[in-house]
């Protein structure tokens, strides 16, 4: 029996899943995929924080694994919440693509006045860069966002550069420096989540990239300590053990940041605790302004 992989139905999700299917085929493993709709795909008219955060892209696939309808699921790892249901494992983490944000525009970055994004992190970082920007909500898949840019609803939009690379798209714009515009934790990384079956986990582990796993799990350790999810404007990025993390106010006027070299999950967690201590007021403020109860 082939391995059945669950995926969202967007072009990007399918491109990522077909990549995994191809890698498995190269290893002699037969795999097929099944498209499963998630709340994040069907509810597009409101910001993510109003419908439950990044977990809305994951829950339906988690449920399908736990119910035995699929064996595993392919995700953009940044969509996977910090705390996971029992019975699931991250069986493989593929080698990281670009972690950076990409600003797509008509003219130049300096000429942008109206920019589309629904990410609280991206909004805060852009306002820190240029307080005069008008940030407007923008959700939808990559095609939808690019269409709205082409129709000049916005002067610019923000996207994950990795998504453009995976779709083979070359568009006018520029990569943002991840040391300055610190990306979401795990941005640029594809993960394969599976039921906790030893034989299945062993099979999928052939896709795992050890170096990427260490860096992104350091990022998740910090994320778990902060407990902010996509509700709080926060960026976390680790490359070769060099960790950068920041929490911003929603308007981008205040930032708490740590930067350190870490060699263990214990050290990464300690950096997360340090940042949380410094940024607790910003985290609480963000939750209060967004009307969300913060349990951290």
Closest CA to 295 of 229, 211, 237, 216: 229
Name the pairing type of β-strands 242-248 and 255-261. Answer: antiparallel
| Number of Cβ within a 10 Å radius of residue 109 | 15
**CA 190 to CA 113: how far, in whole Å?**
33
The answer to whether the CB of 9 falls within 8 A of the CB of 37 is: yes
Length of the chain: 296
| Number of Cβ within a 10 Å radius of residue 74 | 25
Residue among 71, 79, 101, 215 flagged as catalytic: 79
79 as an active site residue: the answer is yes
Closest CA to 177 of 250, 273, 101, 257: 101
- Residues annotated as catalytic (active site), given as ranges: 79
């Amino acid at each position: 029996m082939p391995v059945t992989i669950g995926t969202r139905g967007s072009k990007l999700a399918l491109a990522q899943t077909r990549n995994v299917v191809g890698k498995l085929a190269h290893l002699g493993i037969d795999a097929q995929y099944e498209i499963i709709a998630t709340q994040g795909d069907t509810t597009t008219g409101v910001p993510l924080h109003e419908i439950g955060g990044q977990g809305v892209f994951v829950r339906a696939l988690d449920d399908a694994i736990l119910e035995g309808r699929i064996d595993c699921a392919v995700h953009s790892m940044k969509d996977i919440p910090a705390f996971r249901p029992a019975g699931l494992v991250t069986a493989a983490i593929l080698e990281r693509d670009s972690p950076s944000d990409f600003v797509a525009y008509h003219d130049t970055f300096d000429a942008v006045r109206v920019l589309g994004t629904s990410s609280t992190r991206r909004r805060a970082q852009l306002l820190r860069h240029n307080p005069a920007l008008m940030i407007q909500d923008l959700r939808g898949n990559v095609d939808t966002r690019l269409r709205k840019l082409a129709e000049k609803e916005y002067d610019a939009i923000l996207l994950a550069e990795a998504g453009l690379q995976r779709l083979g798209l070359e568009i006018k714009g520029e990569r943002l420096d991840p040391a300055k515009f610190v990306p979401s934790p795990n941005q640029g990384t594809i993960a394969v989540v599976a039921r906790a079956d030893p034989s299945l986990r062993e099979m999928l582990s052939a896709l795992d990239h050890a170096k990427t796993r260490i860096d992104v799990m350091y990022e998740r350790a910090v994320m778990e300590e902060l407990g902010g999810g996509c509700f709080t404007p926060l960026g976390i990025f680790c490359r070769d053990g060099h960790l950068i993390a920041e929490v911003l106010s929603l308007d981008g006027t205040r930032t708490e940041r740590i930067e350190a070299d870490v060699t263990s999950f214990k050290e990464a967690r300690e950096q997360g605790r340090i940042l949380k201590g410094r940024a607790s007021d910003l985290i609480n403020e963000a939750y209060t302004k967004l009307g969300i109860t913060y349990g951290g």
